[in-house]
Every structure is written in C-alpha cells, then in structure tokens.
Structure 1
Amino acid sequence: MELEAFKTRLFVSILFVCLVSIRANTLQTYIVQLNPQGVTSSSFASKPRWHLSFLEQTMSSEEDASLRLLYSYHSAMEGFAAQLSELELESLKLLPDNVSCRELLKMNRGFSLNYPSISVIFKHGTRSKMIRRRVTNVGSPNSIYKLEVLAPKEVKVRVKPQMLRFTDINQSLSYRVWFISRKRTEKGRMSFAQGQLTWVNSNNGLNRVKSPFSVTWK
C-alpha cells in the first residue's frame, strides 16, 4: 500500500516538473520598452541592431535571435516586440536599459481580432517570401474587416484576400501575404525595415487591428 502511494506521489511530482518545464519554455509575444537614451545604444550602428542585442544576450547561442524579433519601435516608444520564454524574459529584465516587459495579449484585450506579428528574413539570393496567417474573430459576429497596408519602400507587399468577412464569434479565417524585396541582399551585411497591415472594421470604421511586420536582410 505504501509502495503504491509512493509511486503515485512520484508520478505526480514528475508530471508537475514536466508541466513547469513546458510552461517555462513556451514562447509568448512581449513588448519590451527600452530607455531611449540608454547607455548601451551608442555601441550599435542602428536601433534594430541594438534591439536584437537584447535577444542575443538572453537566448541560446545556437538560436538565430533575428527569428524572434518581430518588430522594432522608434516613434511612440523605444523598444521591440519579440517572442520569449518565461526564463528568457526573466533574464532580459536584468539587462541595463530595459524599462518594462509586457505580454502583448494582455495589453490588447479590447481588440476584436487576434493578430500575430510577422517576421520576414531575406537571406542572400532570396527575393520573395509568402507567409500564411490565420486570425480569429473574438469580437462581434457579422464583422467585415478591410485591409490597409503600410510598407517600407524596400518591400512590395501583396495580400489575399484583402477583406475578411466574419459571420460568427471565434470564427477563424486565413490570409496570405507576399513580401517581395526591392533591394538586393548584401552578404555579411544586415539591414532592417518595418511596416504594418491594418485590418479596419468597415461596419464602424473604429476597430483598427494592426499586424506589425519586420523585414530583415542578411
């Protein structure tokens, strides 16, 4: 009897450790706000490169940090959006010039669609990329969203369809985005650009859901 109880407790303990480990390594999207006059920024040639350095310091050296960098902010605030695990987030909080880290989902509960950010990387010799995304209507049924595109001059962006018509709550629809580079990649030299897709609720014109995207040439 005692042996069976011991086995049960051992199983529960192992399961708990596994669940904690999975949670600690699950990626979430966070907005990281930085000090715009940060003492470490002067060491880098550009703000996106500065932002990328925070990820490089918190992630495993075997991973490509640029794949986790979703967006760089320079106007309303200084910072970036990135995918981080809980362990990486805690490490990033200890770095200098970090002001705050907030989970993107918790910051935007008032929006009617979930909106994944997009990260595109053009490696040497690559001129186009197609990304497929699926969004879910978490707002009102019978909603129609039309697309507005703000793209940097270095990239041509095509989206199909350009209108999403939802009939139910929690209904999911997909769309495809083609990114076509208008500049050549220079081997050994990295550059960045950013833009956004904005889905506008045509029923009221008020709900505007932004899907930021970042483009990297490397």
Structure 2
Amino acid sequence: MDVTLTTILYQPDWSRTGPIIEQNLAALDACGLNGKLLIVDNSPMPTVPALELAARDDRVRLLWNDGHNLYIAGALNRVLRVAQSPKLVYFCASHGLARDPTWLQDILTPLDDPAIGAAGCVLPCQFSAVAAVPEDIIDPQHHIQGGVWSARLDVLRQVGFSHRFPFEFCDVDLSRRLLTAGYQLASTATIVSVAGGVIPDPERYKYVHDYR
C-alpha cells in the first residue's frame, strides 16, 4: 500500500463533502497509487452516505467514534493507530477543490527526502500561540496549513498530536513539534490554502483549500 488518505467528518453537508471525497479517491487512480481512505466520523450518529461509500468501495473505511467528537487531534491520533501505509495525506472534507488529480503525487514526492517532516502549503505563524515555555518559540516561525498536508506515518507516530490543541492551532502545534524534532517543512508549489477564495495566480495550482 502506497498511501493512506484521511479526512474527518462532523455532521457534514454531503452535497459538498461527497464530491471532495470522490475527487480525492479518483486521485489515487490518476496517480497510479495503491491506497486507502480512512474517514473518521465525529458526528453524533454515523454519516449514512459515508457508510454507503464504504460499502461500495473497499478502499474506504469509516471510523465512527460512537457519537463522541474527538475533534481534529483526537481523530488523527486514532488514524495513527490503524493506518498501515508509510505515507499519509490529510484533506479537509469541507473546503477543497482538486483541479488536477496529480496534486496527490506532488504532495507525496517531498516525503521521499527523510529530512522532510510534512509537506503542503507553508504559511507564517506565531509559535507563541502553542508555546508552553519560552523555549517553544523557535525559528523559522512557519507551519503547514492544516487543510491539506502529507507526512510519513513513522514521523507522525513519533511526534503525535497534542490534546492541548484539539482543533484550533492543531496544525501550528504539529509543525512546531516536527521542527523541534529536527524535521523540515516542504512547500508544495501546486497546492494552496487561501482565505475567502482569493487565489493569486490561479492557473498555477492543482489543489485549492479555502479555509474560511
């Protein structure tokens, strides 16, 4: 198995979420990758369309949390316990547009370098938001934006996801942990995260995540 895709649901609007999931499953085929999709469902009741998708596509597995909302950090820690592929790609199931399915290969390629901890859209941040002590504020202060990213499974298991930041700043804290552990963050030129649909040089990007 080459890669595990993963995403997190919470009472989703399937008319929006379903196409995002389907287009990213299609990216596996377009890139000639052997992979699985782990959907972590934080909803009070199982998301029926996700169950139906898992029933008809054996690449898909739904992990329902028995009605408990584990938020992002808890859901991803659950993924780390069950994933088997050496590489993992997370995508937000609410705000994504794949313009070219080969985006998936682009975000995975940097992980061939063992110095890289994660790849995606690298943006400035303030580590003071997640610092427990002043020494946690390290340079460079940048992070992998949490809407779409890739990482090696062994590295993620090494650093983990902190329950101190179950939702907000989860991506910032993960990036700080990776940098502190000596890994680098790789910017994927064909992937962008934007706010409010403002996309500079739109023809350049294969995958767009709009986080507002």
The TM-score with structure 2 as length reference comes to: 0.29
Higher strand share: 1
* Structure (1 or 2) with the larger CA radius of gyration: 1
Higher helix share: 2
Q: Bigger relative contact order, structure 1 or 2, given CA contacts below 8 A and separation 6+?
A: 2
The TM-score with structure 1 as length reference comes to: 0.28
